[in-house]
């Protein structure tokens, strides 16, 4: 008689564990392609969905530890390719694929993520024109959030150093590529705004350039991150987005206050306002010169007309009449020139307050000298003709010549200014050890107040 050996039965849990171990060993790295159905995302942050190929389905789970690396949010109907391991959910005895990576079939993950974020932020109004601020007219300090070793910062420095000498560049180093790049760029923007809150008015950053040079779509993906877009939108400092090349478009371009095709173009945008102002100064100079030349030519025509009337029958009377004509002409020319010089000084003073004092002062002095030379040439022309007529006319021409503002300096006078450029008229306005700038007829002197004696 044969004895039948009894075997202990397995529990359901033991069976599920055996099946799970076998599946995870034999199907540890599986690629599947199918359509997402019944996608859900509970508060745990895990993703659950079903993959279907039209004939069969399989449950899928993508846990929070893996889905944070996926650049887009899946949705029902999306055809995807997933990679993971086949396992068993023991509590229900269901087999499933645990997803470790997921990408769309057709459009890439970056494109899907880009479109999703773009539509979401557009619906919230982050791209609206009413939220965009104007760039400052003449920025003094420009912050640049980019890699300290990349091509972008070198391009920006080259353009600004060539186009302007009045802008300071403040580099805020950031990673612009890789998984940590979005956070690094966000931190740079936040740091710039925190600096402005604590800095004095003259030290604050007027505008931020955020960007990098060209690269692949993967290289530029950091600038499509949603949290970075919100940080740019919330920045108190106006932001210029300058990412990649002209054909590259990023989410940061839509949300920034201004978009530049390249980092070099962003620098050109910053320097453009100064070029416009200098062009206006050049136009003013040309119009002033043309007006003075017209007045001089008119005077020459009138004087030539008088000289061609024939011999003087009544020489003393002619001398008197010519003297009167000369006086009127001298008064008119002097008044016009003085008025123009006064207007020019007022406009230049306003411009000095908005440009670099050193650079603009040199430019203005040059133009003032040219205007003074034109004034002097008109006086010399009239004086030359008057000397041919009478010694009396010479005296009148000498008086006209004496009206030149530079002659005051030639007689030993000087113009004293404080270090801030304010003219000193009273000893009460300065203190001991103050630094002064003294303008002579030829050249300047920088001095320090050793002592002073106040006037009555």
* pLDDT tens-digit series, residues 174-216: 999 988 999 999 999 999 999 999 988 889 999 999 999 888 8
CA atoms within 13 A on the CB side of 185: 31
Residue 298: inside a domain: no
Give yes or no: residues 89 and 205 share one domain: no
Question: Is residue 1's pLDDT more than 50?
Answer: no
Give yes or no: residues 164 and 264 share one domain: yes
Residue 115: inside a domain: no
pTM (2 d.p.): 0.49
Contact call for residues 135 and 109 (beta carbons, < 8 A): no
Residue 373: inside a domain: yes
Residue 2: inside a domain: no
Q: What residues make up the domain containing 456?
A: 414-456
Q: Which long-range contacts (CB under 8 A, 24 or more apart) does 159-166 make?
A: 159/264, 159/267, 159/268, 159/271, 160/267, 160/270, 160/271, 163/267, 163/268, 163/271, 163/274, 163/275, 164/271, 164/274, 165/356, 165/359, 166/138, 166/140, 166/274, 166/355, 166/356, 166/359
Give yes or no: residues 248 and 183 share one domain: yes
CA atoms within 13 A on the CB side of 85: 13
Give yes or no: residues 147 and 261 share one domain: yes
Give yes or no: residues 197 and 232 share one domain: yes
Residue 6: inside a domain: no
Length of the chain (residues): 456
Mean per-residue pLDDT over the chain, rounded: 81
**Res 362: pLDDT:** 66
Give yes or no: residues 316 and 369 share one domain: yes
Give yes or no: residues 75 and 168 share one domain: no
Nearest CA-CA partner of 176 in 216, 238, 220: 220
Which has the minimum average pLDDT: 165-179, 266-280, 385-399?
385-399
295-348 pLDDT, tens per residue? Answer: 888 887 777 776 666 544 555 666 777 777 877 777 777 676 667 767 766 775
What domain count does the chain have? Answer: 4
Residue 378 vs residues 42, 327, 371, 372, 400: alpha-carbon distances, Å: 88, 13, 11, 10, 10
Query: Nearest-5° angle of CA 353, CA 275, CA 357?
Result: 25
Distance CA 248, CA 93 (A): 49
Distance CA 360, CA 348 (A): 9
Mean pLDDT of 423-445: 85
Local confidence band at 47 (pLDDT 50, 70, 90 cut-offs): very high
Highest mean pLDDT among 253-257, 327-331, 449-453: 253-257
Give yes or no: residues 163 and 238 share one domain: yes
Mean pLDDT of 245-255: 88
**Res 314: pLDDT:** 58
Residue 289: inside a domain: no
CATH of residue 141 = 3.40.50.2300
Give yes or no: residues 263 and 204 share one domain: yes
């Amino acid at each position: 008689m044969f004895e039948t050996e009894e075997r202990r039965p397995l529990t359901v849990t033991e069976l599920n564990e055996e099946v799970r171990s076998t599946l995870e060993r034999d199907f540890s790295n599986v690629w599947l392609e199918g359509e997402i159905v019944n996608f859900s995302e509970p508060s745990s942050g895990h993703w659950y969905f079903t993959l279907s190929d039209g004939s069969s389905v399989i449950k899928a789970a993508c846990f929070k530890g893996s889905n944070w690396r996926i650049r887009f949010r899946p949705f029902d109907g999306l055809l995807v390719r997933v990679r993971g391991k086949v396992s068993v959910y023991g509590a229900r005895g269901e087999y499933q694929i645990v997803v470790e990576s997921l990408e769309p079939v057709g459009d890439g993950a970056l494109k899907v993520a880009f479109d999703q974020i773009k539509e979401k932020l557009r619906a919230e109004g982050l791209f609206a024109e009413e939220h965009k601020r104007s760039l400052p007219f003449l920025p003094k300090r420009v912050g640049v959030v980019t890699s300290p070793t990349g091509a972008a910062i070198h391009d920006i420095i080259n353009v600004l150093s060539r186009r302007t000498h009045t802008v300071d560049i403040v580099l805020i180093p950031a990673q612009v590529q890789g998984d940590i790049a979005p956070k690094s760029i966000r931190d740079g923007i936040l740091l710039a705004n925190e600096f402005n809150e604590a800095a004095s008015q003259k030290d604050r950053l007027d505008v931020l350039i955020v960007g990098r040079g060209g690269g692949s779509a993967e290289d530029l993906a950091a600038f499509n991150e949603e949290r970075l877009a919100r940080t740019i939108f919330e920045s108190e400092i106006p932001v210029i987005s300058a990412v990649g090349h002209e054909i590259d478009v990023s989410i940061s371009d839509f949300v920034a206050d201004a978009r530049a095709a390249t980092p070099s173009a962003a620098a050109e945008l910053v320097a453009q306002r100064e070029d416009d102002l200098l062009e206006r100064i050049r136009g003013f100079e040309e119009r002033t010169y043309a007006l003075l030349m017209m007045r001089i030519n008119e005077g020459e025509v009138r004087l030539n007309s008088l000289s061609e009337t024939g011999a003087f029958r009544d020489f003393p009377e002619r001398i008197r009449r010519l003297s009167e004509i000369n006086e009127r002409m001298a008064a008119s020319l002097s008044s016009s020139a003085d008025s123009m010089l006064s207007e020019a000084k007022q406009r230049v003073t306003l411009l000095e307050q908005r440009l670099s004092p050193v650079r603009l002062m040199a430019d203005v002095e040059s133009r003032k000298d040219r205007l003074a030379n034109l004034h002097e040439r008109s006086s010399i022309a009239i004086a030359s003709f008057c000397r041919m007529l009478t010694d009396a006319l010479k005296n009148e021409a000498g008086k006209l010549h004496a009206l030149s503002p530079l002659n005051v300096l030639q007689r030993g006078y000087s113009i004293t200014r404080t270090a801030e450029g304010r003219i000193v008229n009273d000893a009460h306005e300065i203190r001991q050890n103050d630094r002064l700038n003294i303008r002579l007829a030829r050249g300047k002197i920088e001095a320090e107040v050793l002592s002073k004696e106040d006037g009555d």
